Amino acid sequence: MTVLFWILGILAVPTAVFLLWLLWVFLKELFSPSPDDGDTDADAEAARAAKAAAKLGLLPAERQNTELAAPLPEQWTAALAAVRGGDWQPAADLLAAVGRDWERRSALAYQLADRAAEEDAWLLAWEAARPDDPDAAVVRARSTVILAWKIRGAKAAKYTTREQAEGFHRTLTAARADVARAAALNPDDPTPFVAEIWVALGLGYPNARMDELWTEITSRAPHHYEAHFSALQYWCAKWRGSERLAREFAERAAAGAPLGSLLTVLPLIAHFEHDESDDTEADNTPEMRARVEAALADAAAADPSHPRLPELRHLLAYYLHLQGRNEAALEQFRLVDGHVNALPWRHDSDMAGYYCRVRNTTVALAEEAATAGV
């Protein structure tokens, strides 16, 4: 009998030890609970960085505008609101007032066309009231192209359904007539041809035909930002070019453009579109550092109200951060904070979240550097 008790006693020891350990953990958790969601250091750090960013007046992800790269001028917002209500008059006046400022005309026509790609009753009314208005025609042309891309969806070709691909093709083909009409009604305007670049992407224009289209554009506006941005997309490997073609196009355009034209963004974009690496080595080559320097100088020389300047700043902030120049990056972030629909964030499914993560890290590192420096 005694032997039996001994055996039971020995067996009971580990059980008792386990129970005591459970009790200890329970008590410890009761008096000093570990942080709820942040059991990793990274999360805690992210929370600290977010707090630091908020202190600087930077907005959280949910308050970032994911439709635009920068706020629109007040008049534009008003005109866009008016067309939503069916009133095309303010839009027509505004476009007429922009006149031959091709950069702004293209941008405004895009914004209007984006609305018209959803519902175009107001545009039809405009067209009915002024049958051969080149302004209405340019909005029409851009809207048909945008509609085609909306039908396609944003996914890679292999995830695009047959129905989407067919609708895309059909609509793009129809868009060519609209583009031609808009170009005929306003022969000086490069905007219809800028829209056609997106037709070229979708329908797969041969390179030679793209070159012809490009001549049409540069003869009208040699340093048009949106034209260059769009054409660079065409020359990227994922569309109708290659990494080499895209780089060449970007370098050539940047080298030939005057300071302040913002075309120094092109080499950065060409790099971004073809960079598959996971580390920052490729972003820290002397070449890349020189590109960032050039872009900084370009941004400083540009007209502060240039509608595309914020797009350059987004990319600058990103690459300055990747090159470890967090204070300079933070400066760019502060200039653009609030609107995030720009490269490099645009392709991310959670563009605001992505933007804020990078921005917050930049803030934290910049602060660290500042304290270390003091």
Partner 1 sequence: MGATLRALRALVLLLGFYLLSLVLLAALAGVDVLVFSWGHGPLTAKVGFVTVLLAIPVVRGMLMLRTPKGEDPPGLPVTDADEPRLWALVRELAAAAGTRAPDRILLTGEVNASVSEDPRLLGLLPGPRRLTLGVPLLIGLTEAQLRSVLAHEFGHFTGGDTRLSALVVRGRVQIGRVIGQFHAKADGKVAADRARQERASAKRVAKGRKAKEIDTTGVGATYRTMARIYTAYGKLYLRASLSTARGQEYAADLTAARIAGRDATASALREIPALSASHDFYVDSYATLGLHARLLPPRGEFFGGFGRLLTAREPEPAGLRAELPEMPVGPYDSHPPIADRVRRIEALPADGRTDEARGSALTLLTDPERTLGALEDAVLLDELLACPRAAGWEELLNASMAAGLSATTTPLHRALTAYTGQPATLSALLDLIDDGRLWRLAERLPLSEQAAAAKGRAFREFVRPALLGSLRTMVLAEFSACSLLTWEFSWTSPATVRLPGWETGAGDDSPEAELDAALEAAVADHPDTTRLRALLPPAVQNA
Least distance from partner 1 to the Cβ atom of residue 126, Å: 15
| Side-chain half-sphere CA neighbours of 144 within 13 A | 23
Contacts for 318-323: CB closer than 8 Å, 24+ residues apart: 318/344, 318/358, 319/268, 319/283, 319/288, 319/291, 319/292, 320/292, 321/358, 321/361, 321/362, 321/365, 322/280, 322/283, 322/284, 323/280, 323/283, 323/284, 323/288, 323/289, 323/292
Interaction between residue 195 and partner 1 (CB under 8 A): no
Interaction between residue 118 and partner 1 (CB under 8 A): yes
| Partner residues linked to 339 by β-bridges | 65
Distance (Å, whole) CA 59 – CA 353:
11
Least distance from partner 1 to the Cβ atom of residue 165, Å: 11
Least distance from partner 1 to the Cβ atom of residue 86, Å: 14
Least distance from partner 1 to the Cβ atom of residue 154, Å: 11
Least distance from partner 1 to the Cβ atom of residue 68, Å: 20
**Residues recorded for the chain:** 374
Out of 48, 150, 289, 334, name the contact with partner 1 by CB under 8 A: 150
Distance (Å, whole) CA 151 – CA 153:
5
Interaction between residue 151 and partner 1 (CB under 8 A): yes
Least distance from partner 1 to the Cβ atom of residue 12, Å: 43
Q: Which is nearer to partner 1, 136 or 366 (CB)?
A: 136
Q: Which is nearer to partner 1, 101 or 119 (CB)?
A: 119
Interaction between residue 316 and partner 1 (CB under 8 A): no
Distance (Å, whole) CA 369 – CA 10:
59
User: Residue 156: which of 315, 344, 347, 340 has the closest Cα?
Assistant: 347
Interaction between residue 119 and partner 1 (CB under 8 A): yes
Q: Which is nearer to partner 1, 164 or 186 (CB)?
A: 164
Contact (CB, 8 A) for 164 and 153: yes
Which of 114-122, 240-248, 265-273, 336-344 is the region at the interface with partner 1 (rule: CB under 8 A)?
114-122
Out of 28, 63, 170, 209, name the contact with partner 1 by CB under 8 A: 170
Least distance from partner 1 to the Cβ atom of residue 143, Å: 8
Structure token pair of residue 65: 């505008």
Distance (Å, whole) CA 192 – CA 170:
19
- Total chain residues near partner 1 (CB under 8 A): 16
Q: Which is nearer to partner 1, 198 or 345 (CB)?
A: 198
Q: Which residues bind partner 1 (CB under 8 A)?
A: 117-120, 124, 147, 150-151, 153, 161, 163-164, 166-167, 170-171
